[in-house]
A and B are shown apart, each in its own frame.
Chain A
Amino acid sequence: MIRAVIVMNTQGKPRLSKFYDYEPTEKQQELIRTVYSVLCSRPESVSSFVDADSIFGPDCRLVYKHYATLYFVFVYDSAENELAMLDLIQVFVETLDKCFKNVCELDVVFNYNKINTILDEIIFGGQVLETNSAEIMKAVEEISKLETAYTTIPLVPKSVTSWRSSV
């Protein structure tokens, strides 16, 4: 199963974290820090796989993808296929891209709730739920329709350049 999904920026700030096996808060933070310290020391154009036994316990692996200023990290065990996990990261990112048109870190930061919703439509309790990004989008839109049916608050403007200063 997939044990955890972590999205963090290249300075180690977590942007999204979801642990499918319960971990206490401090432990989560420690794991995120350790993962970051491993990832930031890896050069470009090496493999996407890292042995994670020492971080997450026996039989755990970690696969990551580096997009611009973000690391997308999946932690999983040997019941999953390594490359399929890598593909799933790609599906996640492509779906985000469709939602936000050229997704960037700020989209992820300021749409924390949306990202969570999207992830929930892709991974369910540590298992792959859906891999077809059109289907994912459909589910997410359905949810947002339901939400807006009850609320009239407008969307946050998408480009918030004034906030870019302190990534």
Chain B
Amino acid sequence: MALSGMRGLSVFISDVRNCQNKEQERLRVDKELGNIRTKFKNEKGLSPYEKKKYVWKMLYIYMLGYDVDFGHMETVSLISAPKYPEKQVGYIVTSCLLNENHDFLRLAINTVRNDIVGRNETFQCLALTMIGNIGGREFAESLAPDVQRLLMSSSCRPLVRKKAALCLLRLYRKNPDVVNVDGWSDQMAQLLDERDLGVLTSAMSLLVALVSNNHDAYWSCIPKCTRILERLARNQDVPQEYTYYGIPSPWLQVKTMRALQYFPAIEDPNTRRSLFEVLQRILMGTDVVKNVNKNNASHAVLFEALALVMHLDAEKEMMSQCVALLGKFIAVREPNIRYLGLENMARMLMVTDMQDIIKRHQAQIITSLKDPDISIRRRALDLLYGMCDVSNAKDIVEELLQYLSTSDFAMREELSLKVAILAEKFAPDLSWYVDVILQLIDKAGDFVSDDIWFRVVQFVTNNEDLQPYAALKAKEYLDKPAIHETMVKVSAYLLGEFGHLLARRPGCSAKELFSLIHDKLPTVSPPAISILLSSYAKILMHTQPPDPELQNQIWAVFRKYESCIDAEIQQRAIEYLALSRKGAALMDILAEMPKFPERQSSLIKKAEDAETDTAEKSAIKLRAQQQTSNALVVTDQQPLNGTSPVGPLSIVKVPSMSSDMDAGDHGLTQSNGSLSEMGQHATTPDLLGDLLGPVAIEAPPSASVQSEQNFVSDQEVSSSVVDVLALAPAEELTSAVQPIGNIAERFQNLCLKDSGVLYEDPYIQIGIKAEWRMHHGRLILFLGNKNTSPLVSVLALILSPAHLKMELSLVPEIIPPRAQVQCPLEVVNIRPSRDVAVLDFSYKFATSLVNVKLRLPAVLNKFLQPASVSMEEFFNQWRSLSGPPLKLQEVVRGVRPMTLLEMANLFTNYRLTVLPGLDPNPNNLAACTTFCSESTRAMLCLVRIETDPADRSQLRMTIASGDPMLTFELKEFIKELLVAILMTSPAPAPTPPPATELAIPAAASTDPGAMLAGLL
């Protein structure tokens, strides 16, 4: 072969190779770069050959990893040289050294265009190659028509046309508008009639790119693709050079089948039939042969055919044939075929009804976990993960657990996560789940993220039946000599919380449990010590009557850590010590953790996120994604624990009375209590907080008492507010069933809080938990059947006012005995309004039909967000909103007399931020807040209240916002707040903003009071 060599280049390369170390190499390279730089400076003296030599050297240096930051101009200018060698060098190096955003490229556009429209085919090739490698948007806009012309030209040689096809593909990727869909689809179809297989291959690549974006315009290409495939598969009219190891151009076959996968379906029966004939021929006619290259080529075609068959939803028979083939592949010697067999089997999982046939190969797939090739092991792991369901979860998870101890370190984290997810999703029973997770922590503690052990704690907490078992397991692990720190944490937590359930067993007395846990303390890190201290406090609390000896032991530990340098440990030690001296009060404060609110498992969510964030356009992936959701639905429907209609493990079972541990009664009050009393817990956004925080202690006792008072006052405050607000019909009961507690009061509580009980009667309890984000809200209705027989004909209707868009998920018609059902309710606030949504709820119990209409706490203040603005911002806004309808003022009479502090406190509770000191008049009050709705978006609202110290029953209020309706609604809302309170006697305001601050006059230079007065 006669490509010209270059002596200078060879010498330089050889010099670089002779360098003993990197330092020498750098010196040599720097020297050469200096040399080239000087040569380029007096360019006149350089012959084309020399120029070429130097730029190849530059390119070589660039490949070695050195920056070549000069000579760009020179190379670009070479493009316009008249002679081939210089032009060639210019093009080659430009496309290597520059990227599409480089400024110099713009300079070359005209020259490049000249080369393309010129008659010289070799120049055309050079120009096309460069554009194909680095052409950007600007090239696309100015050159696409010319490139298209070349591609369609009958006078051009195939060599040029195939480059033009791929060049157009590049330009299309940079700017899809350059291919005018209407005009181009006919030409594309015409291109597929091409006889030259080289041009056809490139054209097919172009088609794949086009249809992956928009297949609609290219239906006419389907029959042509089918014909091409037939021609190749039958080896008709295929030139010898285009057969590769006897296979007619495998690349073209593969591309053609790939293009077909971007069409959602092939409807024409004739085309479909002939396509299936070809596919059948490929599937059946491929054997594993000795020659590796031939094998690769024939299997490339075969695997693509498999993918197409999967895409086309062939008849079940053909699919089973495919699975059988794959089953053969995963057992062959050739590792590449094994690898692809496993990978394609995983894709096959997405096809409906194939799972069962695939499961027949489970044993072989498990064997592949021990393959010497990590790539294959990974595929096997993915496949096992994908094919796992309730029926085989036990086997697969146990295999994975076993594999964990021998697997590569690189895979262990992923493996642990997968085991945890599978165990959670498909657990046949909960004790098995606990077993698996504990084994997992035992075997791969380092790779078990906190999410995993938090999750097991949640399950145990929420399922009473499981607690003694989990505690026992935890004790068994603690008995072992050396265990992972995570195991210490989870075991200590479980024993602290539930260890007392084991009390009757030998070796499980409080004292023994304590010493068992305490033995591990010297081996663990501070975060674990915190958890151990909590466990001790719990053990102490559960030991009734108190055991003085144990008490002293534990107190000694607390005392020791009272002076610990770690603040968290120190705080816990001090608090637990103080608490444990309180005697009976300890019981209340350290009571068992309430049930965790049900939410999507963070693990499963993580896995789903990972699955969906690949944003590429591959046909198979797209399809796989569409079907993932199906797959999930399928698994969700699989009944777990026999009857539950909801997703795996999602129902919190109210504990059965028959539980042999005497925890039944206790549990019931717990589960109910968790809704109302533990509201603060339930809304903690992050579970980790729940678990890691000091157990069941939220604030120092004094503070909690205060907030209690605060709460009482709010409750009263809101109770009367809502009476005025109430546009919904009053609750009417159609039967003799009497509600427990005051429904109106419950509603009012919920207007201020985000969780609590909405309604309760002897049969049912309806709890609510809400989360509000901007103008979106998500309420969860907890429908809990309190009885031992089911509630039937359950019906929940939402009567939503016009300004709220509400969507209630399906409410089951029957609530099983002692079960709780959760129904999420999505709320979108469209515009400001004070109207209230109503839940029309009915059910039948025995013979009585109960129907209640309950106002839902999706009220205006839920869409407020406390805002904080500076004085300057406030005044700017205040000034810009001048007068009605954006700024409204009203004198309100009949206001319940209250101090400004009380008023400030009231505002704060309704999420209005009081801005102390902003208004210099101590009798006035300024506040602001942000209101969120779909029409207004997040909008700042400003409030000013002027009171008369001589007559507290009247005041003047001014409300301003950027939306007239909002201003009006907010004004009415606040007015109702202030007026309605008439009846109630005020509780002393607990945490008012310091009075002095309100009174401080602002700096004299800018007197906001004067400003406000002037503006009003």
Contacts and interface: CB of A to CB of B under 8 A. Distances in A.
Answer yes or no: are A and B bound together in one complex: yes
Interface of A: 14, 16-18, 20, 22, 25-26, 28-29, 42-43, 45-51, 58-59, 77-79, 81-84, 86-88, 90-91, 98-100, 109-114, 116-117, 120, 124-125, 127-132, 134-135, 137, 139-151, 153, 155-156, 160, 163, 166-167
A144 B170 contact: no
Most buried by A among B6, B84, B617: B6
Interface in B202-241: 202, 205, 208, 212, 241
B373 interface: yes
B133 A125 contact: yes
A83 B201 contact: no
Interface string B1-36: 111111101100110011000000000000000000
A87 B608 CA distance: 35
A77 B616 contact: yes
10 contacts: A42-B373, A46-B375, A50-B375, A91-B244, A124-B202, A132-B241, A140-B3, A146-B84, A146-B122, A166-B17
Most buried by A among B1, B6, B85, B372: B1
Contact of A112 (B13, B83, B241): B13
B763 interface: no
B614 A58 contact: yes
Interface in B157-204: 159, 162-163, 166-167, 169-170, 197-198, 201-202
B83 A150 contact: yes
A92 B84 CA distance: 25
B244 A87 contact: yes
A78 B300 contact: no
Given A43-B372, A128-B205, A153-B7, A49 B339 contact: yes
Interface in B642-658: none
Contacts of B617: 79
A51 B378 contact: yes
B534 interface: no
A59 B84 contact: no
A90 B293 contact: yes
Interface in B58-85: 59-60, 62-67, 83-85
A155 B7 CA distance: 8
Contact of B340 (A83, A90, A98): A83
Interface string B109-141: 000000000000010000001001110000000
A92 to B, nearest CB: 13
B4 A147 contact: yes
Nearest to B57: A112
Interface residues of B, number: 86
B249 A114 contact: no
A45 B614 CA distance: 31
B1 A137 contact: yes
Nearest to A98: B1
Given A83-B336, A113-B56, A134-B241, A139 B3 contact: no
Contact of B254 (A78, A84, A90, A125): A84
B204 to A, nearest CB: 10
Contacts of A98: 1
B153 interface: no
Contacts of A47: 335-336, 338-339, 373, 375-376
A139 B1 contact: no
Nearest to B167: A125
Contacts of B338: 47
A86 B110 CA distance: 39
Contacts of B14: 110, 160, 163
Most buried by B among A124, A125, A134, A144: A125
Given A86-B336, A156-B5, 5 more contacts: A91-B244, A125-B170, A146-B85, A146-B122, A167-B17
Contact of B614 (A25, A59, A109, A146): A59
A17 B59 CA distance: 10
Given A81-B300, A150-B84, A87 B616 contact: no
A128 B1 CA distance: 23
Given A58-B614, A82-B300, A109 B254 contact: no
Contacts of B66: 25
Contacts of B208: 79
A127 B244 contact: no
Contacts of B6: 113, 153, 156
A130 B162 contact: yes
